Chain A
Amino acid sequence: MQYEAIVIGVSAGGMNALKFIFSVLPSGFSIPIIIVQHVSALSDNDWIKLLNDKSNLTIKEADEKEKIETGNVYIAPANYHLMIENDKTFSLTIDEYVNFARPSIDVLFESAAEAYKNKLIGIVLTGANNDGTKGIKRIKECGGLAIIQDPKTAESSTMPASAIAAIQPDYILSLEKIVQLLVKLTQTNPGSYRDK
């Protein structure tokens, strides 16, 4: 299998999108997923627990210096930027807002692009701003794969549309199709994949 990690950037409309994705992604999904969802600085991220309860995968907040493990889904904590080091551990920072956001999608994507190079899948989902556009561009520059939610199917089309305008995405798909593609792209043994 070519890919080692997936990063997802999502904003307005993101709660529904993430709920859908993680209610259908099968357990034993073989590579880690790292997510920036724009939330209020005061959010206590209780929604992560709710998402985890409804999912086959382990979904948790990313910890400072934590090693990224296969089979986990990591979410950026509120009011911190999340970055990935070359040794595949997390760093948090309180640097100024980027695109009026902290965590910012661009900050995660740019560091992930450099850490994983062509072994990274970047996904931009629903959102009402332009965060993620620079980041997905960087992922393409470093040889990664870019998947954008079809703006027509997004609760809020601005963010995916902005990404599409800036790059040549590898795929523009609905959420259902994105999940199918991820399962296919990350199969270690094609043909024998089944939910445990």
Chain B
Amino acid sequence: MAREDISELEISLLLEAVYQKYGYDFRQYSKAHINRRIRNRMALSGLEDVSQIQSKVLKDETFAHEFLQDLSITVTEMFRDKDFYKSLRENVIPILKTYPFIKIWHAGCATGEEAYSMAIIMQEEGLYDRATIYATDFNQHALNRAKEGIISNAMMKEYAVNYQLSGGKESFSDYYTSSYGNAIMNQSLKKTIVWANHNLVTDSVFAEVHLILCRNVLIYFNNTLQNKVQKLFHDSLINGGILCLGSKEGLRFTDFHEEYIELDKKQRIFKKKY
């Protein structure tokens, strides 16, 4: 075996070590994804093989923290996929309006851009006072950044375009104040969001909710783990509740295919059957 070949055995030992020492469970993540992140870490830290990572992860907490960040994907955007947000306004908001109070769960919110997008929509649709947005992630570092709500002006420029294309009704710049090259999301938006540390792999139901958004998170999981998380979502949703997945994700390869009707097939919006 060539030296640069990453041994599957070494990788599963490493993931086992991370789980046993730190409680983070990556054992059922996509192998290709894990492999790629490990390879990047080896190159960055000048390590020769996976066993060296394992040894460092166990002995060096700073390194372990870095490695956990490597495995956790925090790439996100405000109003990513304009057609999805259009459909959300057209097909989901009218359903939410029938409830006296609305609980929304952003599962795997990373640095919070989608939760802020949702808070904006709640405000524009007149649902703000009735809504609570639970935004959860297992990555505390990302959650801390989400709570701060500080986003660079360069990114905000792109998000302003996304916002307009996705059916935004106001002026995007009303939702933040800008200083020193950064934008800070308005305090009024933050009031409706509850940030919480929750791990989709190891934690259980924490609330009964009307709407779950989990977009481009499950693609990192293998089939077994996707099923487990889909069960968690199914248990958390009220009957008639809405599940929104990423634009390339679906229920086709899961056990829950029959448990939902498609509200918008293309935008991957599903409604839990009664």
Interface residues of A, Cβ cutoff 8 Å to B: 63-65, 77, 80, 83-86, 91-96, 107, 110-111, 114-115, 141-142
Listed by A's residue number, 21 A-B pairs whose Cβ atoms lie within 8 Å are A64-B219, A64-B249, A65-B226, A65-B253, A83-B30, A83-B32, A83-B33, A85-B32, A91-B33, A92-B219, A92-B248, A93-B30, A94-B75, A94-B246, A95-B33, A107-B36, A111-B36, A114-B5, A114-B32, A115-B32, A141-B2
- How many residues on the B side are at the interface (Cβ–Cβ under 8 A)? 24
**What's the Cα separation between A95 and B76 when bound, in Å?**
9
User: Does the CB pair B248–A93 fall under 8 Å?
Assistant: no
6 closest A-B pairs by beta carbon, nearest first, are: A83-B32, A91-B30, A111-B32, A94-B216, A92-B219, A85-B32
**What's the Cα separation between A65 and B250 when bound, in Å?**
10
B73 interface hit (Cβ, 8 Å): yes
Interface residue ranges of B216-249 to A (CB < 8 Å): 216, 219-220, 223, 226, 246, 248-249
When C-beta atoms are compared, the residue in chain A nearest to B253 turns out to be A65
Q: Which residues of B contact A107 (CB under 8 A)?
A: 36
Q: A80-B219, A86-B31, A110-B39 are in contact. List 6 more A-B contacts (CB 8 A).
A: A64-B250, A65-B226, A85-B31, A92-B219, A111-B36, A114-B6
Q: A85-B30, A141-B2 are in contact. Are A111 and B35 (CB under 8 A)?
A: yes
Q: Which residues of A contact B32 (CB under 8 A)?
A: 83-86, 91, 111, 114-115
Q: Which residues of B contact A141 (CB under 8 A)?
A: 2, 4
User: Does the CB pair A65–B223 fall under 8 Å?
Assistant: yes
User: Does the CB pair A83–B75 fall under 8 Å?
Assistant: no
**What's the Cα separation between A94 and B35 when bound, in Å?**
15
**What's the Cα separation between A86 and B219 when bound, in Å?**
16
Q: A92-B219, A93-B73 are in contact. Are A80 and B248 (CB under 8 A)?
A: yes
